[in-house]
């Protein structure tokens, strides 16, 4: 039951009922019981209104996902049309439906890898769980039962289910959950600003991280490691953009040890970095890919795993011996979700959204770069329409604020006061607006963020 000492919402209000009944994900539950929820009432384009009618610029595209913004009538129309025609169909036991087939064809034609088959799910978490199970199944089929370990990275985010949560490299997603599971390894995070040692150059920093990866593989044994998984740009870990040359050097190590590359495009895919996929922005050659979020602009939940021919054929052969491939979800290939995702991608192409995101993304990065001179800002980083502003107590030493000051949360709260939704990832303020944002709206976003920074600075002083 909600704490009556802290619940000041009127009895029967939506806020009070939320406190009484809803278990919130990824939330400070104790604090939530004290301050209560923000009610999202409606949204249109890049703006959202709360239950009191206050307007906000949605600077996070929801959870990095509403690429085409809110209230896109064409997607509503397609969902209604598909619901009336075929509201549900499953893909178990060889059944299929037209939207799933058409979407699979579209994705295979788009992705920068030789994909042979597409496995559908509902979320980025289940996509990465599928990746893990596919690897285990594949290596069993290949007669390599010892080649099962997966290398992820500290501060990486790959979901919250048991396997995907283990791949995630953030302490809050492991602590008290008994994660990570056995066989998941973590190597260094490519954040030069925080990770460089002494006067180390970016090239030297990358070479050290790559050497550490090579050492990890040597210690564990390359014949025990199945894959390496990475986001092109780390999202929830703080919007970490890798230094130039990082991924090609990592890939060279993986290739020498016959280790596959899982490209987690859940946040970066479909235009976020200014190119259709983050792999193209950072010269990654994926073996498999995980897709979700912007695949449908979050209008309906859907994910996809892109699988190469050599892996599918091997798995299919073993499943014939077993009698079935024992993995899948009730809603894999849900026809309404697939129809909306397909039309979402078509709209992106018809409206040249990827080009628009690249151009407006340049303006966003230019406007944010000016904030690097602000007394609270240690680093501004980003690419395309994703960025972060890292707050520091001392710009010269890069020393962070004490955690108990929650300076990042203070800035996010001040942004909210001024009608801007951003996300505090510790003391990094994440920025990830819908891809349809305009140049004028970028100005609005950065101006409000700067106002919030000034107010927090005044408070601290």
Please indicate whether the domains covering 38-71+353-460 and 74-350 agree at the CATH topology level.
Answer: no
Q: CA Rg, the chain, in Å? A: 22
Residue range 175-190, pLDDT digits in tens: 999 999 999 999 999 9
Mark out the alpha helices in 382-437 (DSSP H runs). 407-417
How far from chain centre, in Å, is Cα 390?
19
pLDDT at 291: 98
Euclidean distance between the first and final Cα of the chain, in Å?
39
Q: For 184-216, what is the HEC assignment?
A: EEEECCCCHHHHCCCCCCHHHHHHHHHHHHHHH
Residue range 304-358, pLDDT digits in tens: 999 999 999 999 999 999 999 999 999 999 999 999 999 999 999 999 999 999 9
pLDDT at 7: 57
Q: Give, in order, the Cα–Cα distances in Å from 201 to each of 204, 206, 246.
A: 5, 9, 13
Q: Specify the pTM.
A: 0.95
* Model confidence at 434: pLDDT above 70: yes
Domain boundaries, the chain: 38-71+353-460, 74-350
Task: Find out if CATH 3.40.50.620 is the number for domain 38-71+353-460.
Answer: no
DSSP letter at 374? S
- Beta sheet of 184-187, edge-to-edge order: 115-121, 303-308, 288-291, 260-264, 225-230, 149-153, 184-187
Q: Give, for 62, the enclosing helix (H) or strand (E).
A: helix 61-64
Report the alpha-carbon distance of residue 253 to residue 250 in Å, rounded: 5
* Model confidence at 120: pLDDT above 90: yes
* Model confidence at 2: pLDDT above 60: no
Residue range 192-228, pLDDT digits in tens: 999 999 999 999 999 999 999 999 999 999 999 999 9
Q: Which fold, 74-350?
A: 3.40.640
Q: Is 309 left (phi over 0), alpha (psi -120 to 50) or beta?
A: alpha
Enumerate residues 6+ apart whose C-beta is below 8 A from 136: 148, 226
- Beta sheet of 386-391, edge-to-edge order: 377-383, 386-391, 428-431, 423-425
* β partners of residue 185: 151
Residue range 7-57, pLDDT digits in tens: 589 999 999 999 999 999 999 999 999 999 999 999 999 999 999 999 999
């Amino acid at each position: 039951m909600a704490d009556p000492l802290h619940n000041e919402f009127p009895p029967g209000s939506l806020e009070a009922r939320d406190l009484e009944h809803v278990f919130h994900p990824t939330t400070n539950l104790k604090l939530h019981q004290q301050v209560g929820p923000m009610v999202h009432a409606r949204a249109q384009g890049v703006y959202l209104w709360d239950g009191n009618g206050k307007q906000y610029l949605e600077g996070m595209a929801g959870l990095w996902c509403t690429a085409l913004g809110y209230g896109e009538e064409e997607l509503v129309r397609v969902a209604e049309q598909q619901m009336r025609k075929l509201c549900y169909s499953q893909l178990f036991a060889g059944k299929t439906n037209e939207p799933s087939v058409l979407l699979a064809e579209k994705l295979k034609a788009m992705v920068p890898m030789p994909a042979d088959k597409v496995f559908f799910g509902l979320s980025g978490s289940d996509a990465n769980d599928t990746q893990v199970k596919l690897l285990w199944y594949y290596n069993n089929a290949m007669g390599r039962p010892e080649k099962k370990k997966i290398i992820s990275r500290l501060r990486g985010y790959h979901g919250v289910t048991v396997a995907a949560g283990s791949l995630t490299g953030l302490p809050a997603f492991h602590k008290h959950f008994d994660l990570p599971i056995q066989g998941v390894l973590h190597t260094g995070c490519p954040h030069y600003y925080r990770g460089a040692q002494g006067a180390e150059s970016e090239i030297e920093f990358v070479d050290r991280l790559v050497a550490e990866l090579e050492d990890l593989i040597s210690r564990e044994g390359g014949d025990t490691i199945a894959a390496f998984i990475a986001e092109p740009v780390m999202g929830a870990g703080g919007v970490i953009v890798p230094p130039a040359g990082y991924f090609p050097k990592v890939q060279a190590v993986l290739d020498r040890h016959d280790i596959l590359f899982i490209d987690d495009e859940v946040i970066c895919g479909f235009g976020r970095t200014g190119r259709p996929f983050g792999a193209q922005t950072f010269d990654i050659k994926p073996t498999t890919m995980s897709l979700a979020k912007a695949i449908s602009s979050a209008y309906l939940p859907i994910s996809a795993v892109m699988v190469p021919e050599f892996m599918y054929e091997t798995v299919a052969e073993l499943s014939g011996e077993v009698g079935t491939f024992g993995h899948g979800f009730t809603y894999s290939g849900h026809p309404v979700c697939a129809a909306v995702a397909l039309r979402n991608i078509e709209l992106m192409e018809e409206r040249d959204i990827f080009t628009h995101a690249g151009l407006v993304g340049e303006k966003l990065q230019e406007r944010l770069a000016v904030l690097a001179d602000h007394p609270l800002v240690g680093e501004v980083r980003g690419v395309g329409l994703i960025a972060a502003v890292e707050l520091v107590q001392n710009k010269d030493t890069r020393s962070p604020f004490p955690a108990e000051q929650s300076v990042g949360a203070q800035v996010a709260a001040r942004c909210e006061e001024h009608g801007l939704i951003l996300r505090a990832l510790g003391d990094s303020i994440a920025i990830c607006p819908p891809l349809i944002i305009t140049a004028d709206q970028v100005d609005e976003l950065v101006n409000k963020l700067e106002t919030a920074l000034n107010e927090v600075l005044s408070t601290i002083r």
